[in-house]
Amino acid sequence: MSELLQQYEALASATLDKAQSLPFKVYQEPSVYELEAQRIFSEDWVFVCTEQELPETGDYFALTLAGESLAIVRGQDGQLRALSNNCRHRGTPLLDEGFGKVEKNIVCPYHAWTYDDQGKLKGIPFPGSIPLEKEEHCLPEFHLDTWMGLVFLNLSDHPLPLAERLQGLESYTSVFEPEQFTHASESQSEHWQSNWKLAMENGMESYHLFKVHKETLEQITPSKESFYVAGCTEWAVTGGKIKTGTSKFMKWLAGDYPEAYDHYLLLSLPPSMIAIMDYESFSWINILPVNAEESMIRSGYLTKKNYGKEDKTSKSFTEAFFAEDKWICERVQKGMQSRKGKGGKLVEMERVVVDFHRYLASRMFEAHSHDFFESEKAEIFKVG
Ligand code: FES
Ligand SMILES: [Fe+2]
């Protein structure tokens, strides 16, 4: 194992009291990213979009994940499938990346082999006299599962069920009755010149709010009112106070948790999701690596039915703090080129980042593959 990977392993597996930033090179080295693509993005459940984004027959979302070209397609039977997006003839990518609609069939742009929206090969132009079994040339399928309207993919052949992967998380999400979040809105994807781990770490910690988001998030959810709730190798939950989130609607919903309507929970679910949840909405951020130093970022939210038209103020607010995060992540990515630069200690407010590092250690390094830690249970909301 290279020296860099040894350092990565040692720092990622460090306990809270010894925790430091990871070596800067692991945010830049293509060889490290290649290993992460194999050991994380080809093995774990990866959040990629929401069910609400693909409401009708033929709707698709095509993307590249760990080098694999995939298309999530809603078939005639109403089911979502994660189909290989490579033609069974010579491998040409079939559908263009992004969201789109399959009009009746998927037709390869090379020699026009034609598949239906469930991946079955329907037709071959000029087949000639050499026999070809159509059933043997269907598009392979990958594992897809959903949770609260969120679509997850898993590229491995025999994944652990998604529900098991998320075990324990529901006791934190259920207080907000997420089954009522049926109305959706989402943003265009953005490209950040930032390693995916850097964008994840930035998304999960509330330490930077008072500085980077001084005029935006800090006004509503101040750094110093954020707190750690619970974490394990698989996910982490932090929380905080919402200063202006006291709409009538939220008060009405307070129900059995009157102390909770002015709080949010932040869920960190590696490798690709950060979400903020309160009584009104579930806002998600999706972070997918493009290469070692670039990520594709998308955000959106699920909210209650009849909540009303999309609110322009909240949209421009989200855009503003997103621009701040992009700015700081790209700035840090540049800073990491420093030859003498070395990661420093993580502070208590970054405890959730330590949980993420332990996740990385468990997926990346054989010696830590059975590590499982769970923090002591904390109260979901601090009262007073
Ligand atoms: S590669 Fe698709 S039809 Fe030839
Ligand atoms: Fe931020």
Say how many residues make up the chain: 384
Rounded CA separation 104/236 (Å): 42
Question: Is residue 24 pLDDT above 60, yes or no?
Answer: yes
Find the range with the poorest average confidence among 5-9, 134-138, 143-147, 308-312.
Answer: 308-312
pLDDT(258) > 60: no
Residue 100 CA, ligand 2 centroid: distance in Å: 30
Q: Report whether 81 contacts 58 (CB < 8 A).
A: no
**Ligand 1: nearest atom to the Cα of 94:** 2
Q: Which atom belonging to ligand 1 lies closest to the Cα atom of 91?
A: 1
* pLDDT of res. 161: 97
Tell me: pLDDT of 375 over 60.
yes
Which candidate, 8, 27, 19, 24, places its Cα nearest to that of 350?
A: 19
By mean pLDDT, which of 11-20, 44-53, 243-252, 369-378 is the weakest?
243-252
DSSP 348: G
State the ligand closest to the CA atom of 211: 2
Of 286, 237, 228, 302, give the one whose Cα is nearest residue 266. 237
Predicted local confidence at residue 175, as pLDDT:
72
Establish how many alpha carbons lie within 13 A of residue 203's alpha carbon, considering only the half-sphere containing its beta carbon: 32
Give the rounded distance of the alpha carbon of 288 from its chain centre. Answer: 7
Place of tokens 């080295």: 29
- Residue 49, SS3? strand
What pLDDT was estimated at residue 260? 58
Residue whose CA is closest, atom 4 of ligand 1? 111
Give the mean pLDDT of the chain: 89
End-to-end alpha carbon distance in the chain: 50
Structure confidence at residue 306 (pLDDT): 55
pTM across the whole model: 0.93
Q: Report the nearest-CA residue for atom 3 of ligand 1.
A: 111
Any residues with Cβ below 6 Å from ligand 1, and which? 87, 89-90, 92, 108, 110-113
Q: Which of 135-139, 319-323, 374-378 has the lowest mean pLDDT?
A: 374-378
The CA 62 to ligand 1 mean position distance, Å, reads 18
CA distance 86 to 108: 9
Give the neighbor-by-neighbor strand order of the sheet with 106-107: 106-107, 114-115, 121-123
Ligand 2 geometric centre to CA of 129 (Å)? 61
Whose atoms come closest to the Cα of 106: which ligand?
Answer: 1
Residue 344 corresponds to which amino acid?
G
Ordered domains of the chain (ranges, CATH): 3-42+167-368 (3.90.380.10), 47-147 (2.102.10.10)
Q: Please say whether the beta carbons of 250 and 279 come within 8 A.
A: yes
152 close to 47: Cβ distance less than 8 angstroms: yes
Q: Whose CA is nearest to atom 1 of ligand 1?
A: 90
Name the residue of 87, 126, 137 to mutate for ligand 1: max ligand atoms within 8 A of Cβ.
87
- Angle at alpha carbon of residue 80, lines to 78 and 81, rounded to 5°: 130
- Side chain identity at residue 325, one-letter code: D
